[in-house]
Structure 1
């Protein structure tokens, strides 16, 4: 129980102040005149002023509240190294025991795991959250059991009491890590990209650790290449991507004896290979309505460099016009088909016929160009069945079709074959049909597919309309109609002309997402989306997933749509995962290339020192033993050798309040009258008489 003197004045305080000033003036005048009772009169005035102030005694019944100590235990990945888990649990048990011996003290324990994604150790966020859940007036201190590697130091909260750090780890710990800098998300095929690589030692590095290590580099899980590299130096590594799409590069150094962990001895970098510019040669044999279809398609893509020639005046045309008066550009046949043919990614023959403009030797160059990895697309018209058809040139060796020289006239609606519904070039095109279905075409060249060719679309009389094939290292396609432009014009509703031609061009350019047989995986955090494309009639089997530790999991892929199989799988940890299904393999990196938790693994209190110093706390190594816990006064140093302190807050809750007047009113009046009477007697009857003048 406590008592407090309070006032509830009968008059406003300014009035009381004025009365007090008036009394003081009168008292001063009496003293100046030498009145012997001035002191008693002053006391009487003071009693009257006290009565007007109405003093009361307030008594409270208080119940003391316990002090709260917050302990944040770091259970992040770096805290699972070496003997740190045992150190943490031993320290927490010691803290519980020490605080249990202090009367009126409670312990709140907060466990901190890794932050989602690659957030690292959010130590200060956890401390702020724990403080927000407790009354700050009861918090007597906070203790962090950690290795000191926090990644949210700017979020350190203001502390109402001492903050201490109990540091795990050993003074003799050391670690070697591999660092990859400047790793881009995209790189241009054929051009080297520079990665900065560094191997760095941390902690108490022993002399026998060496100053050179073996570095292995593997692309897409292939055979690794070994290099000997120095420690502690930045190295610039030029890398040229071998293929388009995602390229997974794995860098690894061996584990050294005695180092803290090998988790940061490897780094995985995923770089998407893209083409800088696609060079396309379009040769139109004659002007026609569909010629602009190809031109518009290719010119609409800013990444395509298009070289387009239309033969407007064939050699056999004799009109008597002098050559020097023509404004036409001569067809640079030798430059295009001999000197620079290998610079093109795609060659399109649009209704081209043999007119002597291209010698057969040049067409042989085109044939060899395809077999060595080039691509050719033939958009056929009525000329394809004539005597001057490309089918009757050296290109016939690589074309996937035979022609009967028959031209089918009459309306028909193009349709997908069973293979076309599974093939990535045409898969799903039916869903893009306008209301009422695709519009009709009116002309088609009768052809038959060679063995091994892929017929993905059919037209009039169920004849092959679009045929695809691989020839050597290259690809060839034949579109047996020159009327795809009707879809672009919206005739009878039109159709997916641009989408079909875009996919066709990208398949021929060997874009990975349009491969017929492909196994791919996309990682988002630790969730893998595994996709399998196949044009086979029988569904593919299970996918074998090999984890970084060598364990294997078999996963069935359900069919999403014809030729497309997919499933989601949650990876148990970060690292490089290998996927295999038959002859197809793929690799995917799960998690960041260098997780924050393993960028720095040596236990240190340097990062937390500013926050600890500001809160009058201390940093103690658990290697030296668990500290004692003492109670210290607020503002005093709260840490020393082998001990840490908490500040008792003296918090309480008021259970009852009683207020009583200090004296009754009649007592004030009686006391004032008695003092005034004593002053009168002092000045009158008992005072000295003045002599008569």
Structure 2
């Protein structure tokens, strides 16, 4: 590389002025008709050129090798039949041919598995950006063409892009597509999942259009089967029947062994069941200091609809005031306890006395309501030990304890029992006394001053009071729940008496346990996904020991894992799943279903090889889209601008375009003329002009 450069001895304006003066003098001489004007003008210009310092700059160049980018798709979909073999053969053949080309380097780019699918566009964009455009001679992709980052695929490239598709022309697949699925649903309210079954590729004639038997299962329960034709969207009604995760498993059997894969024949949809509103009926037998506690707790919960009645004027009260002149709301007993009792999730009797307001038939209806899945919470005061006790009503059939008639009015500090330290309602309560504490210490709970003595019939005692007598009892009755608090002094905690205690948290947990909140179930099998495909299994139990948890993988294989007790009532273990899919967990009668990753990973949503996503890039750059099932194409080199693929005697061929890129390794500068040569040139030109004028004078 050679070029002309200048190193002026004077500022450019001075050199330009000298050149202009020389031209002006030459022009004046021409106007006067003087001979030699041209020589004198050239002498002035030569002097200006000498002052500009012209020099030849000579650069040393070194040729650069061409670069060929070879993209190797090793994502999960490439593990389908024949594709790995085709990929290996193509990569090996192309790498050998590229290595044999002179001054050519190979850049290998491997695309592996990613939670977001095959990121071929991202890999291509990064590979092209990492190399100078002037050196890229060609780009070859060996893939099934299923890219999941289509927006990242470049629109053009500095060299031909060839796409070599794996797979076979007769490949076909049938898959399950979930078009729309809700993330949440109201318990016992119908929600809809929209889905369809889709055929792709060269579907055999005897299978095309045939219906598939769609199998549906909720939380691993019994399956329901429906015939669904392909290509038709179907709205499937599903009713979440419990709070928390409701896992709906969907799938159909493969219609033929020639189908590419059955990994996309199933799916799992998780719908979180939520209650619309928790309806609570609070009946206070009389005004007292703790009544406001229950009302404030339930009214502060936005998810609770509260109906509260306080009996201010008992039937036996006789003051002579006519009923129509009493400014009180009549207690709608029939409507609440007969007609609309099923509308409530929890009924609370707060210091209620049996005074004839509720007939025995109403209490029997409450018993039936509990056995069918309802809940009753009894917050008892001194009236529980009197002749007006609820224990003397038909409700005693479901109460977990019987009063002895004794009321203890001595200060005591509530204590957790061994069962209470394991029960979700009372475990982890702030400020709970230590299990081995002999006396209350700073930061412990404050004391209560009254409780009723009861005899336990059934249920779990989770808190005790004076002389280790039952203070809080939790019991299950058939499908329902019953909780009994044998003291009305919990409000002392809310007032901060002797430091107070977790009043609101305790009452909130009792109420939500009664309403069957999943997070407060004492017997539960839980599973949570950790990063990757790790699984954390948690078993809550009131038992001291539990058996191993059996995990059933999507392929039917089973694994038993042992759980260790991490805290009272909680057993945990971590387990690494071999792959994504739907897993079933069981321990005794407890079961759980969890989906690790998608039941059908993104790689297997579309499996038939296609050039729909990479084809436009190959077309824009003059590259080829070929199927490896027809053989691995030969590699050639062609001049830039010529066709980069074709059919030859030996089969199909693709080409790269050598770029002949180079880099400058050194520069040298040499004056155009040495100083003495410039001086001689200027002097010669001036002498020539003088001689020309002299010949004219002689002629005259």
* TM-score, normalisation: structure 1: 0.94
How has the CA–CA distance of structure 1 residues 24 and 569 changed in structure 2, closer, same or farther, with 3 Å as cutoff? farther
What's 2:213 paired with? Answer: 214
What's 2:141 paired with? Answer: 144
Distance 1:601 1:173 in 2: 9
User: Within 5 Å, which residues of 2 pair with 1:591-610?
Assistant: 591-610=597-616
Contact preservation (8 Å) 2:291, 2:350: yes
User: Within 5 Å, which residues of 2 pair with 1:424-573?
Assistant: 424-429=424-429, 431=431, 435-451=442-458, 453-524=459-530, 525-537=532-544, 539-573=545-579
Look up the SS of the partner of 2:320 in the other structure: coil
Q: Unpaired segments of 5 or more residues in structure 2?
A: 434-440
What's 1:235 paired with? Answer: 234
User: Within 5 Å, which residues of 2 pair with 1:288-303?
Assistant: 288-303=288-303
Distance 2:208 2:627 in 1: 29
Distance 1:137 1:22 in 2: 48
Contact preservation (8 Å) 1:618, 1:638: yes
**1:128 aligned to which of 122, 125, 145:** 125
How has the CA–CA distance of structure 1 residues 622 and 373 changed in structure 2, closer, same or farther, with 3 Å as cutoff? same
**1:579 aligned to which of 582, 585, 600:** 585
What's 2:687 paired with? Answer: 677
Contact preservation (8 Å) 1:401, 1:449: yes
What's 2:108 paired with? Answer: 109
How has the CA–CA distance of structure 1 residues 50 and 643 changed in structure 2, closer, same or farther, with 3 Å as cutoff? farther
Report the alpha carbon displacement of residue 686 of structure 1 after superposing the two structures with TM. Answer: 7.4
User: Within 5 Å, which residues of 2 pair with 1:400-439?
Assistant: 400-429=400-429, 431=431, 435-439=442-446
Distance 2:26 2:260 in 1: 86
Distance 1:69 1:435 in 2: 75
Contact preservation (8 Å) 2:582, 2:599: no
Q: Deviations over 1:599-652 (max 9, x none)?
A: 222222221234444444333332333233333445555444533333433333
What's 2:5 paired with? Answer: 6
Q: Deviations over 1:80-99 (max 9, x none)?
A: 22222222222211221221
Residue range with higher mean Cα deviation, 581-590 or 3-12: 3-12
Look up the SS of the partner of 2:370 in the other structure: helix
Look up the SS of the partner of 2:185 in the other structure: strand
How has the CA–CA distance of structure 1 residues 637 and 476 changed in structure 2, closer, same or farther, with 3 Å as cutoff? same
What's 1:650 paired with? Answer: 660
Report the alpha carbon displacement of residue 136 of structure 1 after superposing the two structures with TM. Answer: 4.5
Q: Does 1:172 align with 2:183?
A: no
Report the alpha carbon displacement of residue 199 of structure 1 after superposing the two structures with TM. Answer: 0.7
Q: Does 1:618 align with 2:624?
A: yes
Contact preservation (8 Å) 2:431, 2:443: no
Distance 1:81 1:13 in 2: 74
What's 1:665 paired with? Answer: 675
Residue range with higher mean Cα deviation, 635-644 or 47-56: 635-644
Look up the SS of the partner of 1:226 in the other structure: strand
Q: Deviations over 1:548-569 (max 9, x none)?
A: 1122222221211100111222
Q: Deviations over 1:281-317 (max 9, x none)?
A: 1111111111111111111111111111110000000
What's 2:334 paired with? Answer: 334
Look up the SS of the partner of 2:206 in the other structure: helix
Contact preservation (8 Å) 2:404, 2:453: yes
Look up the SS of the partner of 1:57 in the other structure: strand
Q: Deviations over 1:163-188 (max 9, x none)?
A: 33222222222211101122122110
Look up the SS of the partner of 1:441 in the other structure: coil
Look up the SS of the partner of 2:365 in the other structure: helix
Q: Unpaired segments of 5 or more residues in structure 1?
A: none
Report the alpha carbon displacement of residue 324 of structure 1 after superposing the two structures with TM. Answer: 1.5
Report the alpha carbon displacement of residue 66 of structure 1 after superposing the two structures with TM. Answer: 1.6
Contact preservation (8 Å) 2:355, 2:388: yes
How has the CA–CA distance of structure 1 residues 205 and 44 changed in structure 2, closer, same or farther, with 3 Å as cutoff? farther
Contact preservation (8 Å) 1:521, 1:531: yes
Contact preservation (8 Å) 1:36, 1:687: no
Report the alpha carbon displacement of residue 41 of structure 1 after superposing the two structures with TM. Answer: 4.5
User: Within 5 Å, which residues of 2 pair with 1:270-285?
Assistant: 270-285=270-285
Q: Deviations over 1:257-293 (max 9, x none)?
A: 2222111111101111111111111111111111111
Report the alpha carbon displacement of residue 376 of structure 1 after superposing the two structures with TM. Answer: 0.9
Distance 1:592 1:687 in 2: 108
Distance 2:8 2:230 in 1: 82
Look up the SS of the partner of 1:429 in the other structure: coil
How has the CA–CA distance of structure 1 residues 622 and 308 changed in structure 2, closer, same or farther, with 3 Å as cutoff? same
Contact preservation (8 Å) 1:189, 1:243: yes
Distance 1:220 1:137 in 2: 59
Q: Does 1:287 align with 2:284?
A: no
Q: Does 1:188 align with 2:186?
A: yes
* TM-score, normalisation: structure 2: 0.93
Q: Deviations over 1:31-56 (max 9, x none)?
A: 66666645545554454343233222
Residue range with higher mean Cα deviation, 50-59 or 192-201: 50-59
Contact preservation (8 Å) 2:282, 2:347: yes
Give the paired residue count.
685
How has the CA–CA distance of structure 1 residues 676 and 109 changed in structure 2, closer, same or farther, with 3 Å as cutoff? same
Distance 1:345 1:396 in 2: 20
Q: Does 1:248 align with 2:255?
A: no
What's 2:437 paired with? Answer: none
Contact preservation (8 Å) 2:35, 2:696: no
Report the alpha carbon displacement of residue 13 of structure 1 after superposing the two structures with TM. Answer: 3.4
Distance 1:688 1:147 in 2: 96
Distance 2:604 2:32 in 1: 90
Distance 2:66 2:460 in 1: 79
What's 1:81 paired with? Answer: 80
